[in-house]
């Protein structure tokens, strides 16, 4: 089945010294929670990592394909997997790796008349 159209992007400025930890967090916390509780989302998002550090940070960009912003919120996915307190701790751990808060946008295609 083809992937839906890109619908949202989220930028995550991660402290450079914590970039490896952030990748581990994604692999060991977020991906298993998504796989176990929202498997329909697994093939509809990807993460890109900047190839170079800049100003003490490494940018991780999340690309989301299809759906509404609400279905991509991490807290409800983590809460289903870890319970409310576990989700709170997981998000605190994630935020401790961030140089600044995640920010993102919902996107719509632009017709360039091609």
What domains lie within the chain, and their CATH numbers? 6-106 (3.30.70.100)
pTM: 0.90
* Strand bridging mode 103-106 / 45-49: unpaired
Q: Which residues of 73-89 are buried (b: 16+ CB within 10 A; e: fewer)?
A: ebeebbbebbeeeebee
pLDDT, position 70? 86
pLDDT, position 69? 83
- CB neighbours (10 Å) of residue 71? 16
For the chain, 114 residues long, the average pLDDT of each consecutive 10-residue run is 85 98 98 94 94 97 90 93 97 97 89 86
pLDDT, position 32? 97
Q: Which residues are CB-neighbours of 49 under 8 A, at least 6 positions away?
A: 19, 23, 58, 59, 60, 61
């Amino acid at each position: 089945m083809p992937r839906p159209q890109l619908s949202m992007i989220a930028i995550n400025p991660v402290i450079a010294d914590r970039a490896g930890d952030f990748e581990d967090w994604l692999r060991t916390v977020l991906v298993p929670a998504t796989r176990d509780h929202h498997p329909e989302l697994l093939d509809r998002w990807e993460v890109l990592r900047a190839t170079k550090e800049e100003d003490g940070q490494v940018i991780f960009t999340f690309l989301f394909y299809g759906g509404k912003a609400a279905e991509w919120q991490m807290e409800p996915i983590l809460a289903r997997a870890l319970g409310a307190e576990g989700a709170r701790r997981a998000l605190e751990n994630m935020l401790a790796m961030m140089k600044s808060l995640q920010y993102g946008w919902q996107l719509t295609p632009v017709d360039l008349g091609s």
